Structure 1
Amino acid sequence: MQFHYINKLIQLPEINVKNILFDDKTGVVYLSVEPIQYVQPCPYCGSHDVHRDGVLYHRHVRHLPLANWRTLLCIPAVNMECQECKAHFVWQYAFVPPKKRYTKAFQHQLMKQGQGVTVQSMSASQSVPYSTAERYFKNGLQAERKHTQMTCIQDAVQRHQLVLGIDDFAVRKGHSYNTGIHDLKGGNMLDIISGRKQEDLQAFQQTSSYMHLLNPVAVVMDLSYTYHKFVKETFPQAIRIADRFHVNRYVTDAMHAVRKEVQQKLSTQARKQLKRHHQLLETRYDALSKEDQTTVQTLLNYDNQLKAIYEWKEAFIDWYDLSLNAQQAKQMLEQWYRQGHRIQHKAVESCLQTIKNWETEVINYHRMRFTNAVVEGRHNKIKAIQRRHFFTRNRDVYENRILVECNWAYMQDII
């Protein structure tokens, strides 16, 4: 019987299919195979003067499925004797390691299918023991992490006008944090730093050999003194950009502080309305639906101070969007300061003082318009990974999962 089509399907050029058997009860197809070559060179001395000494036994090795049939290869363990060094050895197959029950292709498939799912669901879908799926997934993940991270770092080193993003994400909120380093232009994650304190960043800088190879023109981060000091020491030539969305949070927090005071002075019905729709005040006005715009106008009519601070918040959004360059941005920011001072509220004054302290970094956004918006989205994915894997205790496995899954789309684009 001819099996040349089956040989193409299994994509293992060193063997030929001799026979095929279907087990309808278990949904397994057994493929009896044999090596294409009659003898194999001696693995000890490299001699081709080798004598074939029969088949000792057959191994059952799991391979990629064929049309939803679980595939088992019946591989002969051919005994060989070298005529030069008199060594005895068993035929070695390139597609499966010695004494293993799964082909390398199947192991790679397990690693790929682990993206975005738990090991338990992967084990059930592939009908393999949990411990086996977990072992192959972790081993493949480690190799994939090395390849992925090396590729991302090399691209970042070679990138023209490299822009980095630095931000922390919680392992356990309020207790332990990690810091991520991101290539904003390339859209990938370069590394994870354990912790966010100054000593953690310095230790990472000393142990990471590639850091001195990076030459960013700008680094985007929040208003953390620790990060700014780290970037100033590590990349003194790069401009430091205060992340737009972190800066805007100071403004919205000041607005809500005023809103909460206004609520206390309103009637019961008005207070309930303002509290129920307070999130509409955060969204920029032109992004609201007509119905929501009407609701916001109703809320602003409750108090003049609330209306003034809402207009002040909207003016800050316009400052980010409409400033053409850094020089114009500085002039418009001075006008915005004066608008805020007229509100005469402690929370507003505190916000203005913070932005004045970081004015250079805030205005740097208009020199290179980059934000950490993609980084924040990646943090949501990391939180999902942590919940899905129950906060993996093994630090290496934890980092491997994050770096591989967060860079998965980027690596697929390269391939």
Structure 2
Amino acid sequence: MRETICGGESFCHRYQRLSIEWNRLVSVRIVQAKTFKETAKQFGVSVSTVIRRFDGLPVKEMTEVQDLAKVIAIDEYKGATKAGKYLLIIADGETKEPIDILPNRKKKTIKDYLQQHGTNVDVVIMDIIPSFKAAAQKALGKPVIVADRFHFCRYIYWALDGVRRRIQFEWNDYDRKKCKRMRYVFYKDSAKLTEKERWYLDRYLGMGEELRRDYELKESYCLW
């Protein structure tokens, strides 16, 4: 298997079936878990796979976290622990390397952890979840809060889709159903649209001034 590249970065090392991000998460979790079996069950792999990852860990990754970096990123991911259905990963916001994993995404858990280890933290990159923001502000005072790009973009696309659904409700049956099936043309990179897709996009943008305006705002953001 060749090394897979996504967005200019390697997604999976050559000859590996598991992503780089997955390996990073497992590396952090192995150190925290009580047994290899517990980690294997959580990530859906064999115990031998977990043991091989553990054997390959450098010594520095086996030490407990003392102080976090100045720029950190926090995000939830689905796990399976007694403390919660979702875990919280904390990573270095500049190197993207995982630093620690919290057993749940509760506000108190995040606040207590940041109060203990976040003395040097100035910037927190996060999902746009009120509890994350409140926990960071209570623990760190007034850090710079940065909405991560993925979630920020998602809100833009959701807003555009909301306008599309509201406006097409007033159209005739044919255009309403056809636009629903062709809705992907509103989100696809405009430079990659086929001639047919471009025709449908222009048609539906011409049927609603508000839809055209919001689509142009989305395009402006993508160019920016």
Q: Partner of 1:331 in structure 2? A: none
Secondary structure at 1:196 match in 2:
coil
| Cα deviation digits, residues 87-106 of structure 1 (max 9, x gap) | xxxxxxxxxxxxxxxxxxxx
CA contact (8 A) 1:152 1:190 kept: no
Q: Partner of 2:12 in structure 1? A: none
Q: Partner of 2:4 in structure 1? A: none
Distance 1:290 1:114 in 2: 35
CA contact (8 A) 2:114 2:140 kept: no
1:255 shift after superposition = 1.9
CA contact (8 A) 1:165 1:181 kept: yes
Q: 2:18 aligns with which of 113, 116, 127?
A: 116
Distance 1:152 1:294, change over 3 A: farther
TM (normalized to structure 1)?
0.37
Q: Partner of 1:147 in structure 2? A: 59
Q: Partner of 2:192 in structure 1? A: 288
CA contact (8 A) 2:125 2:148 kept: yes
Residue 171 (1) aligns with residue 61 (2): no
CA contact (8 A) 2:110 2:136 kept: no
Distance 2:64 2:199 in 1: 48
Residue 199 (1) aligns with residue 108 (2): yes
Structure 1: where are the runs of 5+ without partners?
1-112, 118-130, 322-415
Distance 1:143 1:236 in 2: 40
Q: 1:183 aligns with which of 86, 92, 101?
A: 92
Distance 1:304 1:212, change over 3 A: closer
Q: Partner of 2:137 in structure 1? A: 232
CA contact (8 A) 2:111 2:139 kept: no
Secondary structure at 1:265 match in 2:
coil
What one-letter code is carried by the residue in structure 2 that aligns with 1:261? R
Secondary structure at 2:121 match in 1:
coil
Distance 1:151 1:284, change over 3 A: farther
Secondary structure at 1:266 match in 2:
coil
1:231 shift after superposition = 1.8
1:138 shift after superposition = 4.5
Distance 2:110 2:104 in 1: 8
CA contact (8 A) 1:179 1:195 kept: yes
What one-letter code is carried by the residue in structure 2 that aligns with 1:168? E
Question: RMSD of the TM alignment (CA)?
Answer: 3.7
Secondary structure at 1:187 match in 2:
coil
Question: Percent same amino acid among aligned pairs?
Answer: 23
CA contact (8 A) 1:221 1:240 kept: yes
Q: Partner of 1:267 in structure 2? A: 172
Distance 2:201 2:150 in 1: 22
Secondary structure at 2:185 match in 1:
helix
TM (normalized to structure 2)?
0.63
Q: Partner of 1:402 in structure 2? A: none
Structure 2: where are the runs of 5+ without partners?
1-14, 20-36, 38-45
Which is greater in Rg?
1
Distance 1:317 1:139 in 2: 43
Q: Partner of 1:254 in structure 2? A: 159
CA contact (8 A) 2:111 2:136 kept: no
Q: Partner of 1:242 in structure 2? A: 147
How many pairs were matched up?
181
Distance 1:137 1:263, change over 3 A: closer
Alignment of 1:269-348 (within 5 A): 269-285=174-190, 287-291=191-195, 292-317=197-222, 321=224
| Cα deviation digits, residues 95-148 of structure 1 (max 9, x gap) | xxxxxxxxxxxxxxxxxx99739xxxxxxxxxxxxx9xx666545544655736
1:280 shift after superposition = 2.1
| Cα deviation digits, residues 198-240 of structure 1 (max 9, x gap) | 122245447xx6x246x23321112222111222233336311
Distance 1:148 1:278, change over 3 A: farther
CA contact (8 A) 2:114 2:136 kept: no
Distance 1:146 1:116 in 2: 19
What one-letter code is carried by the residue in structure 2 that aligns with 1:289? L
